[in-house]
Amino acid sequence: MKSSFGQTRSDIRRNHALLTPESHEWITSPDWPGAELAFLISPDMGAKFAMGLVRSAGGLSDIAPAASGIARFVFVLEGSVSFSTGQSLGTEGYAFLPPEDAATLSTSAGARFVLFEWRFLARGDVPAPVFGSLGDIEGTPLRGDDWLIVQKMLPTDAGFDGEFNIMNFHPGASLAYVETHFMEHGLLMLDGGGVYRLDDRWYPVGKGDAIWMGPHVPQWFGALGRDKSRYLIYKNYNRSPL
Ligand code: UGY
Ligand code: MN
């Protein structure tokens, strides 16, 4: 969208936000030498996690791990990301790094990825790092609906305090009902588009749009168009609301 008249589709509300590419503010950070970052969701707006986009024209080398107590999740949009522990991720590869993991992060020139960080809520032993590739993850129909396929990138055991899933919508598919739940979401549209209901608003959304859904916000998505729609979605999970 052209913003020459001060317009944007971005909309920041008390319990949800739509963050669209034309309003991204790319910044540098001493913690990420050589990178440009667009933090789209952060605790300042009410979220309990941060979600951002990271890109680097020249590539990154040996970026330090997250601060103490903070877990990281990386999903590669373009190029490759590697870790000092030897793992390498290509496009649509992902990594979960538990707090205190010592691996440093490097990338190819031109790499782009999504970054999530949050204060990890341990239950028993803190899980080991997880590395994978979306192409290897089997999808399962959501509540038996084979027009809506979910790919879960992390193990579902109770050691994990959140989920990172890809939701795949057949053209015309939608969430079966308007969800309301205490868990939050951070979402990035990967393909396609449609209409996202958040609270009492209906937003047209497409590839590259990000959404924050705060606790209890009514939420629903309907996919439009002829191609499939996909989004990456984080949800804090496996933990009590108290
Ligand atoms: O897992 C979820 O809560 C998911 N179905 N929510 C969503 O797509 N907005
Ligand atoms: Mn939900």
Q: Which ligand is nearest to the CA of 197?
A: 1
CATH 2.60.120.10-classified regions of the chain: 11-134, 138-236
Please name the residue whose Cα sits nearest to atom 5 of ligand 1. 175
Ligand 2: centre distance to CA 185 (Å)? 7
- For position 145, what pLDDT does the model report? 85
Q: Which two tokens stand for residue 54?
A: 């990271």
Name, in order, each residue with C-beta under 8 angstroms of 35's C-beta and a sequence gap of 6 or more.
28, 29, 54, 55, 56, 60, 63
Mean pLDDT by 10 residues, the chain (242 residues): 83 98 98 98 98 98 98 98 98 98 98 98 97 97 92 97 98 97 98 98 98 98 97 97 94
Q: Which ligand is nearest to the CA of 230?
A: 1
- For position 139, what pLDDT does the model report? 96
Please name the residue whose Cα sits nearest to atom 1 of ligand 1. 235
What Cα–Cα distance (Å) separates residue 233 from each residue in 117, 163, 174, 213? 14, 8, 15, 10
Tell me the pairing of strands 49-56 and 16-19.
Answer: unpaired
Q: Which two tokens stand for residue 9?
A: 């589709």
214, with CB counted inside 10 A (0-12, 13-18, 19+), is: buried
ipTM given for this complex:
0.99
- For position 1, what pLDDT does the model report? 59
User: Are 103 and 129 spatial neighbours (Cβ–Cβ below 8 Å)?
Assistant: yes
CATH assignment, 11-134? 2.60.120.10
**CA–CA separation, 87 vs 84, rounded Å?**
7
Of all atoms in ligand 1, which is nearest to the CA of residue 142? Answer: 5
- For position 112, what pLDDT does the model report? 98
- For position 3, what pLDDT does the model report? 62
Question: ∠233-234-237 over CA atoms, to 5°?
Answer: 130
Of all atoms in ligand 1, which is nearest to the CA of residue 213? Answer: 9
- For position 90, what pLDDT does the model report? 98
CATH topology of domain 138-236: Jelly Rolls (2.60.120)
Amino acid letter, residue 43: P
Ligand 2: centre distance to CA 179 (Å)? 6
Mutate to test the pocket of ligand 1, among 175, 231, 237 (most ligand atoms within 8 A of CB): 175
Of all atoms in ligand 1, which is nearest to the CA of residue 219? Answer: 9
Within 6 Å (CB) of ligand 1, which residues are found? 167, 175, 179, 185, 219, 233, 235
**CA–CA separation, 221 vs 237, rounded Å?**
20
- For position 38, what pLDDT does the model report? 98
**CA–CA separation, 227 vs 173, rounded Å?**
11
Sign of CA dihedral 99, 100, 103, 104: positive
